[in-house]
Structure formats: structure tokens, C-alpha cells
Amino acid sequence: MSGEGPFTHQARNQRKSVRTRARLMDAAVEVFARDGFEAASVNEIARRADVVNGTFYVHFKDKDAIAAEVAFKVAYDIARQIDGAMTHIDNAAERFSCATRQFIEIACGQPQWGWVLIRSAGYAPEVHRQVESYLRTDLALGVRQGLFDLEIDAFTMDTILSMILAALAARLRGDTGPEAASKVSEMVLRVLGVPAVAAKAFAWSPIELQGFKIQTTL
């Protein structure tokens, strides 16, 4: 086994079944991140969780089942962290910029989670829904505040999300430094109709967070 992952940590005081399940999920994250969903094998996941192959099937029906659960939990957890740290920001452009930058930062701090998000975006609708949920609210707010002049429909959301994920991928690949998060924020704000100068200001201003620091594990 390779260290203790976030799910395992969260399950530390629960009954054995729960702990094993959590170990399988941490292992699945590693394998999905490295090999992609299609190429990942149940055997490899079990091996990394230090259980024999048969144990896997006690806990999950098949590969699809664990993938859906892992993707959902990862997306949910990240979204929750971001939301919690932003309750004090009112301006929609600032909220968007802050959320996007934090999202990329958090996902980079846990690279395997980042890759799982990217690689599962195509297959797992629940990931899309999770990430979009925090986006949609702020975008709609911006329209109401008169900051954004673009119609926020499903296609717009989809395009914006793909920009953010592209930035995350570039960052995880190491193609770019931490500035990618601000760059992509600025680009999206321009798409939304924020004037260039204001977009730059929002995207590059320092982030103020509620509380000390962002929590990067469950």
C-alpha cells in the first residue's frame, strides 16, 4: 500500500468494512488518475489497496460502480471546500475568479484528484453537475448584478467549464505555472463581458479567504 489516502483517513474510526472500502477508493483514485478509467483494472485497484481481488467485489459491483462513487465524492468535496471559504464575497466577478483560482489550486494540491476530475468529466455526468452547481449560481448572480452580459445557458456553462479544466490539465501536466489560474479567470471574465481592464483586476487580485487556509484533504 502507498501511504494513507484521504478516504482512508476519513474512515479511520469506522468499522473494518468501511475502512476497506475507503482504501479501495483511494486506490481507485490513484489508478484512474494514472491509467484513465478505461484502462484501469480491478486487479490493480485491489492490489494497491492491499486486498485480494475477491474483496473488491464484496464492496463494489464492478469498476463502473467504484468510478461513479469516487468521481462524485471528489467533485463534491472540492466544491464544498470552495463554497465554504467564499461566503463573505458578494461581487459575482470576484466570486467567480476566486472560486476558479481556488478550484485549480486545490485540485493541483491533490494531483490525483485533479486527474480524476479531468478524466471522468467525459464519462461521469455527476462530476459535471457538481462542478457546474457552484459555477451556475455565481454566473447568474453576475447577470443580475449587471456585470455579465452573456446569456448563461447549458452551452455557455459547458464551454466555460472546459476552459477551466483545460487550465487545470495544463497545470497538472506542468506546462504552466500557478499563473494559469489567473489567466483563465481573466479569459472567462472577458467572455462574460467584463471589460478587459476590470477582468484583469479581478483575475489577478489577491484572494482573501474566510479562515486561515484552504483545507486540502477530507
Partner DNA sequence: CCAATAATTGACAAAGGTCCCAAAAAACGC
Partner DNA sequence: GCGTTTTTTGGGACCTTTGTCAATTATTGG
Nearer to a second copy, 70 or 165 (CB): 165
Does 38 sit near DNA (CB under 7 A)? Answer: no
Contact with DNA (CB under 7 A) among 16, 88, 173, 213: 16
How many residues would you count in the chain?
Answer: 218
Tracing cell 467549464 back to the chain, one arrives at 161
Does 43 sit near a second copy (CB under 8 A)? Answer: no
Q: Which stretch binds DNA (CB under 7 A): 17-25, 88-96, 99-107, 149-157?
A: 17-25
Say how far apart CA 194 and CA 9 lie, in whole Å: 42
Tracing cell 467564499 back to the chain, one arrives at 86
Size, binding site for a second copy by CB under 8 A: 29
Contact with DNA (CB under 7 A) among 1, 2, 9, 41: 41
Say how far apart CA 1 and CA 121 lie, in whole Å: 27
**Where would I find the H helices in the chain?**
6-10, 16-35, 42-48, 53-59, 63-84, 92-109, 111-120, 125-144, 154-173, 179-192, 196-204
For residue 38, give the C-alpha cell.
478505461
Does 193 sit near a second copy (CB under 8 A)? Answer: yes
Does 73 sit near DNA (CB under 7 A)? Answer: no
Which residues are near DNA by CB under 7 A?
Answer: 15-20, 40-44, 50-55, 57-59, 62-63
Which residues are near a second copy by CB under 8 A?
Answer: 35-39, 149-150, 154-156, 158-159, 161-163, 165-167, 170, 175-176, 180, 183-184, 187, 190-191, 193, 196
